Structure 1
């Protein structure tokens, strides 16, 4: 099969996503995949972009580098050369829809040229949450099948609030199918498209194989146990800051280790004044397994809101892949997918009880069960399920 992916996420960054991983796996299995990186905005020509990846894209355009490049066998990446205009300031959605047609045509014509160059006579178009730039791509590109991917509550973010909540259902309705990484998202999508399927989330199993001999990182070795650890973005949109403060104060003998970049609220929080809380900063993905391996308990203290209630937290798979006991905030996804392999809690009192249990009950047999369960979520299995659903259309 031939696939074309459009997404909010670029494929050439340190951060992977459902679409980048699925694209890589489909190519590894022998399917031909064109991954379209996000176009640059016109303002990027006049204001130096913060992202080094956008800056590199802009440099490639100005130096007239080939926009279509082979990334791996069966996998190509397109760097669109035409800048797009921003119309999100327009308050009236019908006018906004008329204006974004110009962006969609500009974007679509570049994709058409790339598919011709690759010899894609027909292809399946996969749209990963690219609501505005790709709203009309089904009509412009006329793909063999059009698949919309729903994997996060994007439309609740400020940028999307004006037009996203009304336009995303329209994209779902005209898609041939919607694939979702959580059961809650699947239930929501089925209101707009009966061909809505759950595929779950995946992780790179190979990154967590043969890790039991990894040495403890130097900055972690200095921290006494038991180590209660979290890895990921430290942002109050997704994490319960007050809960962390409460459990850290309640258990001064435990060391709370937080790895990731902080938002302003975390950076200015009381956590920094607590002697048993340790901020280790950002760590590269390749280094994460060594830290996780030497945590005693891994936690995911999510705050409950529209952004977290239905999401599928990838970090849970990574924690389990190393056999770690996991304590996480109880959400629909945690109950439906992970309840048998994690300790779920709501509020600081329950967190303390569940962390105590996780420390006391941990055994080699339980660790092996966690690892075996996590491996079911390999990208190979997720891609196979994705193809299986496509074949029913």
Structure 2
């Protein structure tokens, strides 16, 4: 059975301790193909400001030739740490000067990638870029891949770092891509305005820890919280969460106990929530600890702020909540439409209060069971199968990635 060669340029390094979409995607590709995973190159700013960090020092060793830049990390997966130093150019106000610097950075990066690809014998590779990376605007020209796939999973142009040069760069990436693969309906709609070959491939989830049939003891700090427990797990930040909604819910229903599990940003640390007796901050937990908290919430919530940053984000925590068989109340967004028959969606605080009351008064075991099945269907295998189908739809001959689609051949 033939294998395809896939080069992945990724925003997040392979060795990042947190779980990442790109690493999960690479592992699924590698079931039937060969993958070259490319870390972001070290830039001048990171070298100067972060030299004490072990990861930066290791990159510097690669740059000096004192450490290998190409390593075999998993079956069918090689890691390329580029042996080049990128200029720090995002601060430049001039679009012309930025473009000149970016072309140099891209040329240096492409040289590292080409060297790794030649060493591995990666002929006629596919190139997948994970999100908004400036150098990627030149790589289709420099690397000449069989197909260029832009993997769009966040609306990054609203992030402060990307506001100056991001919109123009992403417009170019969307125009150049042979296929745009998005993980939500919102981002697919956004991409389709520029590129008609834009597809919603869904979101893969790793739910090994979130199994409804596994019984967990009530964590000691949660056991001290009275019922009913309305719970949230994740980073507590006003960039993504509606702080005013949480305050309103806690104040209007003092008999509900709001449990917030996760680290806090400055806004949450200073918020009036800390002064309310029915709001309980339980701090950060390890990934392995979180399912026990979710299992013992009476209702799981996702009180999302609705803004440019969050509108297109796929809410992985919804799959985690549903996989544990818990009822879910969440803010209504375009992306949440896929969960409309499984979670209870609310558009304002009054709808939130009504939905919470309904869930607590009249639990729906059948709905919960359907939620478990839905969450467990959101696998990386299913997401990658949709991506393969999208590539074949754009270029039916030759049959792109057919071996990966037909592992039995």
Q: In the alignment, is residue 22 of structure 1 matched against residue 52 of structure 2?
A: no
Alignment of structure 1 residues 11-160 onto 2, 5 Å: 11-27=14-30, 29-48=31-50, 53-54=55-56, 57-58=59-60, 64-160=66-162
Segment drifting more, 82-91 vs 357-366: 357-366
Instruction: Decide whether aligned partners of structure 1 residues 307 and 101 sit closer, same or farther in structure 2, where only a CA change above 3 A counts.
Output: same
> What's the CA shift for 1:59?
6.0
Say whether the 8 Å CA contact 1:104–1:136 is kept in structure 2.
yes
Task: Return closer, same or farther for 1:320/1:283 CA change in 2, 3 Å cut-off.
Answer: same
Q: Could you tell me whether the CA contact under 8 Å between 1:23 and 1:33 is conserved in 2?
A: yes
Output the CA distance in 2 between the equivalents of 1:362 and 1:158: 42
Partner of residue 201, structure 1: 203
Contact 1:22-1:379 within 8 A present in 2 as well: yes
1:260 maps to 2:262:
yes
- Give the paired residue count: 391
User: What is the Cα deviation at residue 204 of structure 1?
Assistant: 0.7
Shift of 1:46: 2.4
Q: C-alpha deviations, 1:246-271, integer Å up to 9, x for none?
A: 10112222221112221111111111
Query: 2:333 matched to which residue of 1?
Result: 331
Kindly tell me: are residues 289 and 58 of structure 1, through their superposed partners in 2, closer, same or farther at Cα, counting changes over 3 Å? farther
Structure 1 residues 54 and 358: alpha-carbon distance in aligned structure 2, compared to 1, 3 A threshold: farther
1:375 aligns with 2:376: yes
- 1:217-244 Cα offsets, whole Å, 9 max, x none, are 2222222221111111211111110110
Deviation at 1:162, TM superposition (A): 0.7
Residue ranges of structure 2 left out of the alignment (5+ in a row)? 396-409
Change (3 A) 1:49 1:155: farther
Moved more, 226-235 or 50-59: 50-59
Note if contact 1:211-1:290 (Cα within 8 Å) is conserved in structure 2: no
For structure 1, the residue ranges without an aligned partner over 5 or more in a row are: none
String of CA shifts for 1:38-78, please: whole Å, max 9, x gaps: 22221233223697654654466568221122221111222
The 3 A distance-change label for structure 1 pair 331 and 41 is: same
**Moved >3 Å (runs of 4+):** 49-63
* TM-score when normalising by structure 1: 0.94
Of 222, 243, 250, 1:241 maps to: 243
In structure 1, how many angstroms separate the alpha carbons of the residues matched to 2:293 and 2:309?
Answer: 27
Q: Is the 8 A contact 2:8 2:129 kept in 1?
A: yes
Change (3 A) 1:63 1:106: closer
Check conservation: 2:150, 2:179, Cα contact below 8 A: yes
Q: How far apart in 2 are the matches of 1:145 and 1:10?
A: 23
Aligned in 2, Cα 1:70/1:287: closer, same or farther, shift over 3 Å? farther
SS across alignment from 2:49: coil
Q: Which moved more, 1:60-69 or 1:178-187?
A: 60-69
The CA distance in 2 between the partners of 1:223 and 1:64, in whole Å, is 54
